[in-house]
Amino acid sequence: MRLSNLLCAEFLLSIPETDATLINFCGQQPLHVLANHPHTEEGIRDCFFDRRPDIDVNAVDAAALMLAFAAKNIDFCIYLLAKGASLGNVNFDNWSIFAGGVTSPDFRQLKRILGQIIF
């Protein structure tokens, strides 16, 4: 996912036994990696959700939305919200994109996200 190899991602996700919720040695699921890397090819994101539509975007302490927000990955934040991510969720440390985890929340960034989902 992180290296944006679309052919590899398509191949792995085409195998029914591939578990798209496995965690790497850093504790990240593929969804976390996609969220944390703003330069990941959109094709991989689309391939991931097309082939695994049952992925819970709020699973594992709702970290994907917070990671995308912290990485200034606005497009992925909007995409996650369209897939059902909740702005109200907090992680295990009780942090959300509104308070906690993000060192200095960029309110322009938040305004852009909210503007996209409201209008």
| Residues composing the chain | 119
pLDDT at 62: 64
pLDDT at 1: 53
Q: In a structure prediction context, what are the per-residue pLDDT tens digits for the chain, which is 119 residues long?
A: 555 678 888 888 888 888 888 888 888 888 888 888 877 777 888 888 999 888 888 876 667 888 888 888 888 988 998 898 888 777 777 777 776 655 555 667 777 777 776 65
CATH fold of the domain at 6-118: 1.25.40
Q: Parse the chain into domains and list their residue ranges.
A: 6-118
pLDDT at 100: 62
The total of other beta-carbon atoms located within 10 Å of residue 100's CB is: 14
